[in-house]
Chains A and B, each alone.
Chain A
Amino acid sequence: MTTLNVRRGPEFTRILGLGVARGENAVPNDDLIEPINSSDEWIRKMTGIVTRVRANEDTSVIDLSEAAARDALAQAGIDASELDAVILSTISYPRITPGGAPVLADRIGATPAAAFDISAACAGYCYGIGQADALVRSGAARNVLVVGAEKLSDFVDPADRSISYLLGDAAGAVVIGGSDTPGIGPTIWGSDGGASELIKQNHTWLEIREDRDLPFPTLRQEGPSVFKWASFKMAPVALEAIEAAGLTPEDIDVFIPHQANLRIIDQMVKQIGLPESVVVAKDIVDSGNTSAASIPLATERVLRDGVAKSGDVALQIGFGAGLVYAAQVVVLP
């Protein structure tokens, strides 16, 4: 009987390097309030956001991704030629096909690495980490680049009061590779497509083809329902990720949730029952909600601010349109 060879990878993985690229412009609330008939005070109260980063018109998702990826590779001490896979998580790459990942891989010199996009919105970075961890441990890839990148300002409606004013542009990248010690805990992930209408592109491409009077598609959300889901339903997911890693909330040094809304972050901390000693990432205040990029961005921020350090144990959780969610405990690079 013929027996096939199978590959096995290292037992453990970790984040070897991190890089980020924020949109070039810090856009204050005052620049956005007129079309939504709102105020700086209201936006701060409802979201915690003071400014959001937005990219120049001629800066693309790939440009942001490349900058973040190059920094991640440099910190990891890995050459792009040593990458076996490039995963780009984005919902704002403006082509249905080809995906952005092969283009990004080529830009950074990673060709012929496997390259593919994932569409898991604000959970996309944690989905990517889960996949990269599995690919490395299975032996399918030695090193994997995971990039969460968005240019959401291309898909906002200035008159939309539901989500547009929260959104920003940025990319965050990490290199995942083998490790002598565990650096990425089990990924707890899932979806709830029954609630797919809560956050979505308002018109499909086909609807726009049929009705040329429809405006360019932009994003919408049912804010209070999303708040309720994220604030209360994500806590058990986070706790499961902590438990799966063999830890308790007391073992967590840093909490790095998707930067959706400061009110959600505050409520999650309460619901998870994190001790006061845990540093909570709140990059949303200055960067806004950058979807797939927000967790690596917030990670870079806590490290740069010196409130967290390499080797700290971080709980990260992404959640968003789908609905989709994913959480894992990681050791910071």
Chain B
Amino acid sequence: MALSKDEVLAGLAEIVSEETDIDTAEVTLDKSFTDDLDIDSLSMMTIVTLAEEKFDVRIPDEKVKDLVTVDDAVSYITEAQA
């Protein structure tokens, strides 16, 4: 069953927190992965891969550069699993 946007955010925050040690509460929709959360390109790929596994979606490599904010990623995943 498809998860709601809030549920995807919560799950994604857990992945980000595990990869970067950032508190899950800091992972909010308005945050930029690069500028606010200081996530580099390799950590981003790890997060994307773990998100693919967790949410059973496919996020093509060429799409990752468009996922600038947490909202971008949450929206993409929410739509992809629909």
Which one of A45, A224, A231, A267 has the greatest number of beta carbons of chain B within 10 Å?
Answer: A224
- Chain B: CB-nearest residue to A42: B40
**A12 to chain B: which residues have CB within 8 Å?**
none
Inter-chain CA distance A45–B41, complex, in Å, is 11
B61 interface residue, CB < 8 Å from A? yes
Number of interface residues of B (CB under 8 A): 10
B49 and A228 form a contact (CB under 8 A): yes
**A263 to chain B: which residues have CB within 8 Å?**
42
**A46 to chain B: which residues have CB within 8 Å?**
40, 42
A224 and B49 form a contact (CB under 8 A): no
CB under 8 Å from chain B, chain A span 79-94: none
Number of interface residues of A (CB under 8 A): 12
A59 interface residue, CB < 8 Å from B? no
A225 interface residue, CB < 8 Å from B? yes
Inter-chain CA distance A74–B49, complex, in Å, is 46
Shortest beta-carbon distance from A116 to chain B in Å: 35
- Which secondary structure dominates where chain B touches chain A? helix
A228 and B45 form a contact (CB under 8 A): yes
Inter-chain CA distance A121–B27, complex, in Å, is 40
Inter-chain CA distance A232–B42, complex, in Å, is 12
A24 interface residue, CB < 8 Å from B? no
B9 interface residue, CB < 8 Å from A? no
B44 interface residue, CB < 8 Å from A? yes
- Chain A: CB-nearest residue to B62: A225
**B49 to chain A: which residues have CB within 8 Å?**
228, 231-232
Inter-chain CA distance A262–B48, complex, in Å, is 19
CB under 8 Å from chain A, chain B span 7-52: 40-42, 44-46, 48-49
Contacts A228-B49, A232-B49 given: A222-B61 contact, CB under 8 Å?
A: yes
A223 and B41 form a contact (CB under 8 A): yes
B3 interface residue, CB < 8 Å from A? no
Inter-chain CA distance A46–B39, complex, in Å, is 11
Which one of B41, B42, B44, B49 has the greatest number of beta carbons of chain A within 10 Å?
Answer: B42
B80 interface residue, CB < 8 Å from A? no
**A225 to chain B: which residues have CB within 8 Å?**
45, 61
B64 interface residue, CB < 8 Å from A? yes
Contact of B48 among A222, A228, A267 (CB under 8 A): A228
A45 and B46 form a contact (CB under 8 A): no
- Chain A: CB-nearest residue to B40: A46
Residues 219-233 of chain A, each 1 if its beta carbon lies under 8 Å from chain B, else 0? 000111101100110
Contacts A45-B40, A46-B40 given: A267-B61 contact, CB under 8 Å?
A: no
**B40 to chain A: which residues have CB within 8 Å?**
45-46
Residues 54-79 of chain B, each 1 if its beta carbon lies under 8 Å from chain A, else 0? 00000001001000000000000000
Closest 8 pairs (CB-CB, A-B): A228-B45, A225-B61, A224-B41, A224-B45, A227-B42, A263-B42, A232-B49, A227-B45
A interface, CB within 8 angstroms of B? 45-46, 222-225, 227-228, 231-232, 263, 267
For this complex, 20 residue pairs linking A to B, each with C-beta atoms less than 8 Å apart, are A45-B40, A46-B40, A46-B42, A223-B42, A224-B41, A224-B42, A224-B44, A224-B45, A225-B45, A225-B61, A227-B41, A228-B46, A228-B48, A228-B49, A228-B61, A231-B46, A231-B49, A232-B49, A263-B42, A267-B46
Other than the given A225-B61, A228-B49, 8 more pairs (CB < 8 A) read: A46-B40, A46-B42, A223-B42, A224-B64, A225-B45, A228-B45, A228-B61, A231-B46
